[in-house]
Structure 1
Amino acid sequence: MNKEYQNIKVIGFDADDTLWVNETYFRDAESEFSKLLNRFETENKIDQELFKMEMKNLPVYGYGVKGFVLSMVEMALELSNNTVSNKTIEKILEIGKEMINKPVDLLDGVEVVLKELSKKYRLIVVTKGDLLDQERKLQKSGLLDYFHHIEVLSDKKEDNYSRLLKHLDIKPEHFLMIGNSLKSDILPLVAIGAKAIHIPFHTTWAHEEVTEKDANKKTYKTLNSLLDLPKLLE
C-alpha cells in the first residue's frame, strides 16, 4: 500500500465535474444568454457583467442553477434598463429548466472506480449547490448505492469541512478528498490536515480559480483521470 495513504478510511468525492459533467452546461447557458441580450451590449461584456452579478448574489442565492437563473434575470433587467420583454425573461427561465433537466453524464471510469474503492473504503459525497438539484442528479446518476453519506454544503471552506468531519466522527488524517476544484475540494482539506487529490476538469468556473502562489503553498497530488486513483492508493 502507498504509505502516504495507508491511514485513509473514508474517501470523499466532489460531485459536479468530478463524478459527472456540469460546468460545460453553465458555459453553454452563458453563451445562449449573451446571444439573447446582444442587442444591448457585446457578448463578451455581457459575460463579464453576468459573472459580476453572480458574485454579488452568491451570499443571497448560494450556488447552483436557480441562483444562476435569478442572476441572469437581474442582469437582463439591468442591461436593458428594465425594458427587456416578457418573452426574453421566459426564454431565460427556459434556459434554466433545460440545465436542470440535462442528463447526468458520468465522467470516464466513475462507476468502475467507485465499485472498486467501496470494497475497502467508506465513500461519501461532499458537494455544494442547490440541495434539490444535487439530490436529483445523484438519483439520476445510479451511483447512490456506493455512498454511505451525501452532504450538500452551502460552501466548501475549512470550517465547513471541519464541522462535517466532526459530525461524521472522521479524523482529518483518515480522510481523503477527491475533486476538480483546487479552491473548493483540495486546498481547504490540506489546510485542516486531511489528504486531497486534484483531478482537473477541462473547464473551470472563474470563481473556482486560484493563483499559482496559493496552489503552490499546499501539498497535494494531481491525477489526469479518476481511473488512476485505485492504483495510486495501492
Structure 2
Amino acid sequence: MTLTTIGFDADDTLWHNERFFRMTQARFHDLLAAHAETAHLEERLLAAERRNVGSYGFGVKGFTLSMIETAIEVSEGRVPASVIGEILAAGREMLAHPIEILPHAREAVEALAGRYRLVLVTKGDLLDQERKLAQSGLGDLFDAIEIVSDKRAETYRTVFARHGSGADQALMVGNSLKSDVLPMLEAGGWGVHVPHEMTWALEQATAPLGHPRFAELPDLAQLAELVARIDPSSFG
C-alpha cells in the first residue's frame, strides 16, 4: 500500500464551526419565540436547510436564507422587518467571527507536511472558507486548496487525480461520515473519521464498521501514528 496524498476537511476538523451555527440558532429561537415552540422551529429550519442546500449550497449564507424563510413560514408572513434585520445581522456576525483551531490540528498537519501532498478539501461559502483558512495560519502547509460545492465520490476522484496519484492512493480526514468518509471510501481511498462534539444533522451517517479502509480516531493527535501504520515506508 502506498499513500501519496492526504486530504483534510476544514470545518470542525481543523477549526470549530458548528458551535457558531448552534449559537446563532439559539438566538433565532429567541427571536421567533412568539411564533413557534423551539422543537417545531428546529424541525422547520432543518427542513428548510435540507430543501435549500441544493440551491444555496453549504455555509453561512444558505443558513441565513433558510432562517429567513423559516421565520416567514412559521409566522405566516407576519414576522416583523426588525426580526429579519436581526437574522441578517446574526449571519454577518458569523461571517466575521474569529476562528478557533481545534486541539492537535496544527501538529497533525505539520507531522504529515513534506511526507505527503496535503490537500484541504472543504465545502461552503468561498469567501468565508478563504477567510478562515487565512486566519488559521495553516494555509502554507497545504499543497493545494479545493473549495467544492459538495463532496461526492466523483469529487474525490477528481481532486486526488488533479493533486495526487488518484483516490486509491489517498486518505481523507474529516469529522463528517457523510461527506468526508463514505464518498472517499466509494472512490477507493482511505476514510478517517475524527468525530466532533457537534455534528449538523444533515452530515450524520452510519459508520462503515468493518470496511478495510475505514478508521476512526478520537482526535487528530493519533493521525500521524495511523498514517505510519498504513504506510510505514514514509516513516522509516
**TM-score scaled by length of structure 1:** 0.93
Match of 2:222 in 1: 228
Structure 2 gaps, min length 5:
229-236
Match of 2:56 in 1: 61
Match of 1:36 in 2: 31
- From the superposition, tell whether residues 218 and 187 of structure 1 become closer, same or farther in structure 2 (CA, over 3 Å): farther
Q: How many residues align structurally?
A: 227
Q: How much does 1:167 deviate?
A: 2.9
Match of 1:126 in 2: 121
- Higher mean Cα deviation, 145-154 or 110-119? 110-119
Match of 2:234 in 1: none
Q: Which runs of 4+ in 1 moved over 4 A?
A: none
Q: Is 1:78 aligned to 2:38, yes or no?
A: no
Would the aligned equivalents of 1:187 and 1:218 in 2 still touch at CA under 8 Å? no
- From the superposition, tell whether residues 59 and 46 of structure 1 become closer, same or farther in structure 2 (CA, over 3 Å): same
1:136-155 alignment, distance < 5 Å? 136-155=131-150
2:31 partner letter: L
Would the aligned equivalents of 2:10 and 2:121 in 1 still touch at CA under 8 Å? yes
- Higher mean Cα deviation, 13-22 or 160-169? 160-169
Would the aligned equivalents of 2:58 and 2:123 in 1 still touch at CA under 8 Å? yes
Provide, for residues 55-85 of structure 1, a one-character-per-residue CA deviation record: whole Å limited to 9, x for no partner: 1111110100001001111111111111111
- CA distance in 1 between partners of 2:144 and 2:59 (Å): 20
Q: Is 1:52 aligned to 2:77, yes or no?
A: no
Structure 1 SS opposite 2:129: helix
- CA distance in 2 between partners of 1:211 and 1:13 (Å): 20
1:92-107 alignment, distance < 5 Å? 92-107=87-102
2:8 partner letter: F
- CA distance in 2 between partners of 1:16 and 1:151 (Å): 13
Would the aligned equivalents of 1:12 and 1:123 in 2 still touch at CA under 8 Å? yes
Q: How much does 1:169 deviate?
A: 4.7
1:83-232 alignment, distance < 5 Å? 83-211=78-206, 215-216=208-209, 218-219=211-212, 220-232=214-226
- CA distance in 2 between partners of 1:202 and 1:188 (Å): 22
Of the three residues 10, 14, 18, the one matched with 2:13 is 18
Structure 1 gaps, min length 5:
1-5
**TM-score scaled by length of structure 2:** 0.92
- CA distance in 2 between partners of 1:165 and 1:142 (Å): 23
- CA distance in 1 between partners of 2:158 and 2:115 (Å): 25
Give the alignment's Cα RMSD to 1 decimal. Answer: 1.3
